[in-house]
Amino acid sequence: MRIFIDLHKKPQRVRYCDSMNAAIVAALDKAGIASKDMVGPEAQPWTFGMSGVAREDGFSTITGLTISTPSEIIARGLMQIRPEWIQVHSSNGDVIDCSGARRHLGRLPADGVSELAVFFASPILIKPLGKDPETEWIEEFGSVDFDAAFRRGLERRAGRDMDISFSADPLTLAVGVTRRLVHLRKATNGRKVIVPAFSLPLTMRGHPEDVRFAYMAGLGAKTRAGFGCPILPQ
């Protein structure tokens, strides 16, 4: 299940990914989804991506919001969500109010697809194996086996082995990877938590069920915080 919230008529000014996560969780709560299914170690897989313009001051002007899940539980909430439910007035200074926006079904790959080229609505965050998930992140995309890293994260969220691989052509890896620093959240001590994330076109290959799961669940770390949300090329 995937929905798209069109915010072109009412763009949102957002600094922290954590703020949009809170707004979506509030909306899913209104739709009757239990907290344990949205957040925490036992949460269902879901992701989101904010489209718009990132500014040098850390703020982004958001004109679209993609929310995606392979979970039937979260999908029930997405079917009911109204844009006006996606709201938050955060202590970090972000104010989000999506009332007046338009809600559409998101674009999905055709059934039975075993190879899929994707871009990303939100950049990818990658955690080194065995490292602290809050303080240590991959700084250079070429320094990691991203195929293994993505598959490892997907298998953990799916609770099963997956027949899937990820690749990018050599030219893309050489000059087509965009790195940017993303404001994740504001810590209780007032410090801004900023993480390095990456965008690039990728190809996913494997069993159709696993390719579809990856497209719906997102790739990399902290997908529920708004990272690694794949989208189809226009």
For the 2-105 domain, the top CATH level (class) is: alpha beta
Does the fold of domain 115-231 match that of domain 2-105?
yes
Neighbours of 24 (CB within 10 A): 26
Mean pLDDT in residue range 215-220: 98
Distance in angstroms between the alpha carbons of the first and the last residue of the chain: 19
Structure tokens at 113: 């697809």
Mean pLDDT, the chain, integer:
94
Question: Looking at the predicted structure, is the pLDDT value of residue 132 above 80?
Answer: no
Q: What is the pLDDT of residue 190?
A: 85
Higher pLDDT, 141 or 133: 141
Question: Looking at the predicted structure, is the pLDDT value of residue 107 above 80?
Answer: yes
Overall fold of domain 115-231: Alpha-Beta Plaits (3.30.70)
53 Cβ contact partners less than 8 Å away, ≥ 6 residues apart: 60, 61, 63
Mean pLDDT in residue range 171-197: 91
User: Is the pTM here over 0.85, yes or no?
Assistant: yes
Tokens 């991959």 — which residue?
138
Q: How confident is the model at residue 133 (pLDDT cuts 50, 70, 90)?
A: low
Structure tokens at 185: 């959240």
Length of the chain measured in residues: 234
88 closest CA partner among 37, 190, 10, 18: 18
Mean pLDDT in residue range 179-186: 92
Q: What is the pLDDT of residue 206?
A: 98
Q: What is the pLDDT of residue 129?
A: 74
**C-alpha to C-alpha distance for 134 and 102, rounded to whole angstroms:** 34
Q: What is the pLDDT of residue 234?
A: 81
pLDDT, tens digit (0-9, with 9 covering 90-100), for 80-94 = 999 999 999 999 999
pLDDT, tens digit (0-9, with 9 covering 90-100), for 3-62 = 999 999 999 999 999 999 999 999 999 999 999 999 999 999 999 999 999 887 889 999
Q: What is the pLDDT of residue 188?
A: 84
**C-alpha to C-alpha distance for 93 and 9, rounded to whole angstroms:** 22
Q: What is the pLDDT of residue 131?
A: 57
pLDDT, tens digit (0-9, with 9 covering 90-100), for 137-163 = 999 888 889 999 999 999 999 999 999
**C-alpha to C-alpha distance for 227 and 42, rounded to whole angstroms:** 19
Mean pLDDT in residue range 102-120: 97
73 closest CA partner among 17, 103, 112, 34: 34
Do β-strands 230-231 and 115-120 pair in parallel, antiparallel, or remain unpaired?
antiparallel
Question: Looking at the predicted structure, is the pLDDT value of residue 134 above 80?
Answer: no
Q: Domain segments of the chain: what residues? A: 2-105, 115-231
DSSP code, position 151: H
Q: What is the pLDDT of residue 217?
A: 98
